[in-house]
Amino acid sequence: MKKVIALVMIIGLVVAGIWYLGRKPPPQVSLHTVSRGVVEKTVSNTRAGTVDACRRSKLSMPIGGRVDALHVDEGDRVEAGQVLLSLWNKDRMAMTTQAKAHLLAMRHSAEKMCVEAANAEREARRLETLHEKNLASREAMELGRTRAEAGEFGCQAARDEEQVAEANLQMNQVLLDETYLRAPFAGIVAEINGEIGEYVTPSPPGVATPPAVDLIDYSCLYVTAPIDEVDAGQLVAGLPARLSLDAFRGETFRGKLDRVAPYVLDFEKQARTVEIDVLFDDPEIRSRLLVGYSADIDIILETHEDVLRVPTEAVMEDDRVFRFHRDSGALELVPIIVGIRNWNFTEVIEGLEAGDEIVLSLDVPGLAAGLTVEATDD
């Protein structure tokens, strides 16, 4: 009998050992402790945005010609009206000089004619006075008046010729000015396409060619980005924004929504989007930025301060979370009532309390209410 009991005990120990060695360890999950903080309702861009300048001009020459001089280098700061590039223009300069000389000659001629006309007018009045006193004949008086009127017409004709000469000079000055490329505003020269001696031509209609000079106004920079069309109706100019740039990882910049495009972009094989522009609150930030930097935008629609919040990744689609009981190691599936949310945090109105521990790693297979797990804090 004793042998039977001993055999049964040995078999039991073996079975228990096999069960113990063969059992699966409890799954490991990451936890998060529920706390209070700020939750924002935001709208974000669907694709990366871009830092752009409020004014950027890709300048080209209005006429073709050979580059005679480059007056600036890439990276130079220029003032409005400053000459950036000039074409060979000695022929037009000569024509302008000739037009100036012609105008001067016409002006002197007109002055001479008008002085003579004034003298003739005075002589005609003198003869009329003498005729009234019977000291001059009627024929002399009429001849004096005829000469005065002819002088007046001659003066007017000379003035008209002077105006024609002045218009001709203005036309030649315009033609000469076409050989100079000037800055339409103060800015920084980003790019120059062309070298001294090369021949440049204006862009034909409908054909894009590289600009002679790419000029950027760095006094005003903004971020432009697309947002999904379903979010556009929530946006109005003036809403606060938060900007982040790949070039400054870990930093965020405050901004303000400046413009919502009044149309929807519909590109093939892409979601329909609306372009928005966001200005930086701090104008001094422009000294750190380059046009073309990639950027992301969060438009802040609503902000709730000091509210109970949990990571959005811990909330299931039906607004339930797994609460962890540390005393038993078991999970409890808890429904919650949520408020506003974003990609990072979700506001909890009811269902949890500060200090509760919830599961972050919802991707662990087999999670269910009552399951015993091994916890790792987040």
Q: Is 2.60.40.10 the CATH number for 23-40+304-377? A: no
Give dist(CA 213, CA 70) in Å, integer.
10
Which region holds residue 246: left if phi is over 0, alpha if psi is between -120 and 50, else beta?
A: alpha
Closest CA to 340 of 32, 38, 44, 46: 38
Question: Per-residue pLDDT tens for 177-191?
Answer: 999 999 999 999 999
pLDDT at position 5 over 80: no
Q: Within 10 A of 94 (CB to CB), how many other CB atoms are there? A: 12
For residue range 249-293, what is the model confidence (pLDDT) as tens digits?
A: 889 999 999 999 998 888 766 678 999 999 999 888 888 889 999
Q: What is the pLDDT of residues 52-93, one digit of tens each?
A: 999 999 998 889 899 999 999 999 999 999 999 999 999 999
Specify the amino acid at residue 199: Y
State the pLDDT at residue 6.
57
- 5: enclosing H helix or E strand: helix 2-22
Structure tokens at 51: 């830092």
Q: CA-CA distances (angstroms) from residue 42 to 157, 317, 340? A: 75, 19, 9
CA distance 321 to 307: 18
User: Which residues lie across from 273 on neighbouring strands?
Assistant: 228, 265
Alpha-carbon distance of 86 to 78, in angstroms, equals 15
CATH architecture, domain 61-88+180-200 = Beta Barrel (2.40)
For the chain, the structural domain boundaries read: 23-40+304-377, 44-55+217-303, 61-88+180-200, 90-169
pTM for the predicted model, two decimal places: 0.68
* Residues pairing with 307 in the sheet: 37
Fold match between 44-55+217-303 and 61-88+180-200? no
Decide if pLDDT at 142 tops 60. yes
Element at 68 (helix H, strand E): strand 65-70
Q: What percent of the chain has pLDDT over 70?
A: 92
Sign (positive or negative) of CA dihedral 330, 334, 340, 341: positive
Is the pLDDT at 116 greater than 80, yes or no? yes
pLDDT value, residue 269: 64
CA 317 to chain CA mean position, Å: 37
Domain 44-55+217-303 has CATH 2.40.30.170: yes
- Joined tokens for residue 154: 């001659």
pLDDT for the residue 191: 92
Query: Where does residue 168 fall: left (phi above 0), alpha (psi -120 to 50 degrees), or beta otherwise?
Result: alpha
Condensed to tens digits (0 to 9), the pLDDT of residues 300-313 reads 999 999 999 999 99
